[in-house]
Amino acid sequence: MDQTISNGHSSDQSSSNGHEENSQSEREESILGKRRNGSPDSFCDPHVRPSMPLFGMDIGGTLTKLVYFEPDNIDDFDQAEQQTLRTIHRYLMGSTAYGTTGIRDVHLEMTNQNICGREGKIHFIRFPTSQMPAFIDLAKYRKFSGLASGICATGGGAYMFEEVFESEVHLQLHKYDELDSLVKGIHYIDRYNLNSECYYFCNPLDPNSCEKMPFDFQDPYPYLVVNIGSGVSILSVRSKSQYSRVSGTSLGGGTFLGLCCLLTGCETFEEAIELASKGDSENIDKLVKDIYGGDYNKFGLKGDAVASSFGQMMSKEKRKSARKEDLARATLVTLTNNIGSIARMCAKTEKIERVVFVGNFLRVNTISMKLLAFAMEYWSNGSLKALFLEHEGYFGAMGCLLEYLHLNNPA
């Protein structure tokens, strides 16, 4: 979603003769003048189907996630809606990338979904929140306000960008609670994804025997949700409708990327993870064996356990030899270990054995997932299991899409 897309120079732009311009204008006026059932007030009436298109949006501090429901049979709709849906389909489905930053995650697409009595697919799209001005330009050019009266949205950005959407795009953001949307999204996707959604790792730190295994999450309660975005929120979920926020930390994915930008000069999350994958954190951290010469057996601390994150950087010589890759890896390990430690303490306090880690911090980040899997099992003597979900990062946006169904507790 960058300026290349938002300035209007796209392959499906109409030709410029007067007749076509007038026809397009008439179609847009027809759409704009039509009363749309796009606000949450109309969702409460089970006899009224909300008009297409249906979007759910989660505007986070780092990434914006967009969930879109594409109905299978466009011919079932009236002429104005058909025009709208074909315009969206031509743009969104014509590519898997939008500009240099927007991505449609094709592998996460959910088919055979029933939304508001209509069959269709659910698509998952993301772009950096820093590119929101370009997305707003795109929405203005594509006349999103003529396609819907509003978008169900969550995340801090739903408040931050609310006035801009109304003044620039003439589109209302109907705001929903971030954690409510997260839990609703998890419940829906796990139950209605035709493929296995939940999984764990066997032998996570052994490159030769590590294996990704499916986990049956149909009867999960109680469980802990560790939502790792820019920061971290930890929820205790006791049932479909009962949950509470039990802890959190400001040291999350935003911290990792911010520190990596400072320490290595990288500019994107993907670049930071790529650097970390090639680094060795032992060149940056001080380990137990650096202090004790080996294991600390009395308390079961192995020699290669981290005793002091970035502890080696007290040495001027070590600082001179530190590579960008090592700094990125040490930053990732530091943040992951801290999140895992807090999650384990919360699980113990709440007397919960299942801990589900979600959020965009885990996207393209198997290093952290495997570290979390190992740490949870090792430090709990096998009583805790770290679980992961395929649609990490999209649950808040999915929860917003569910507002169209008026289903607070999907079965």
Q: What is the DSSP letter of 240?
A: S
With b for 16 or more beta-carbon neighbours within 10 A and e for fewer, the 73-103 pattern comes to ebeebeebbebbbebbeebbeeeeebbebbb
CA 268/CA 271 separation, integer angstroms? 5
Order of all β-strands in the sheet with 243-249 = 211-214, 198-202, 385-389, 354-358, 223-228, 232-237, 243-249
389 closest CA partner among 233, 192, 214, 229: 214
**For residue 147, how many other CB atoms are within 10 A of its CB?**
26
Pick the catalytic residue: 70, 178, 350, 392? Answer: 178
Q: What CA–CA distances, in Å, run from 366 to 182, 201, 273, 310?
A: 22, 10, 10, 22
CA 200/CA 215 separation, integer angstroms? 7
Q: Is residue 178 annotated as part of the catalytic site, yes or no? A: yes
Which SS3 state, helix, strand or coil, does residue 233 take?
A: strand
Six-digit token string for 322? 């530190």
CA 273/CA 403 separation, integer angstroms? 34
CA 274/CA 21 separation, integer angstroms? 47
Q: Let me know: does 79 contact 141? Beta carbons within 8 Å.
A: no
CA 174/CA 189 separation, integer angstroms? 22
Place of tokens 């949307």: 181
Q: Let me know: does 116 contact 49? Beta carbons within 8 Å.
A: yes
Q: Which residues carry out catalysis?
A: 178
